[in-house]
Amino acid sequence: MAASRSPRPHHAAKCVVLAKEEGENIASTLGNKKAALLQNHGLLTVGKTIEEAVFWFISLERCCQSQLMADAAAAGRGSVTMKIEDEDALFTYKTIGTPGAGYFNAKPLFDVIHKETNGEYLQ
């Protein structure tokens, strides 16, 4: 997932999401994006397949962790992190941000789970 300075879907969730209206608000915030940050809740990702959604989630979580560590290290030096340019983020998105890329990047993870469980999760 490419990062940039452009706005990302963010939703100020006020409670545990049980009501239809709150679910609709989150869906509206997500729009046609593949990920959103739910304030006080965490990350939400979607995809055309389970594998794709899982890959975007894992990738986004790792990006968030890396960004937090980089920001903390930079702050410790009295500086700020360098941000990726929007055109570079767009190029990366077009190159590896496709549904197919999400599916194929997650497939090995699912293959390992299948092998380690002998497919018992399918029962």
Q: What is the dihedral of CA 55, 61, 63, 68, to 10 degrees?
A: 180
Confidence of residue 6 (pLDDT cuts 50, 70, 90): very low
- Residues 71 and 45: their CA atoms lie apart, in Å, by 23
Average pLDDT over residues 25-47: 89
> Closest Cα to residue 50, out of 110, 111, 123, 121?
110
5 found inside a domain: no
The pLDDT score that the predictor gives to residue 10 is: 67
Residues 80, 85, 90, 95: is their CA dihedral positive or negative?
negative
Judged against a pLDDT cut of 80, whether residue 5 lies above it is answered with no
110 found inside a domain: yes
1 found inside a domain: no
Sheet holding 35-38, edge to edge: 10-11, 35-38, 42-45
CATH classification at residue 55: 3.40.225.10
55 found inside a domain: yes
34 found inside a domain: yes
3 found inside a domain: no
- Residues 115 and 123: their CA atoms lie apart, in Å, by 14
Tell me how many domains the chain contains.
Answer: 1
pTM passes above 0.85: no
Contact criterion met (CB below 8 Å) for 66 and 58: no
45 found inside a domain: yes
Domain of 95, in residue numbers: 10-122
Phi, psi of 69 (to 5 degrees): -65, -40
Residue 39 is given by DSSP the state T
- Residues 108 and 123: their CA atoms lie apart, in Å, by 20
The pLDDT score that the predictor gives to residue 77 is: 97
* Chain segment 50-99, per-residue pLDDT in tens: 999 999 999 999 999 999 999 999 999 999 999 999 999 999 999 999 99
Residue 122 is given by DSSP the state G
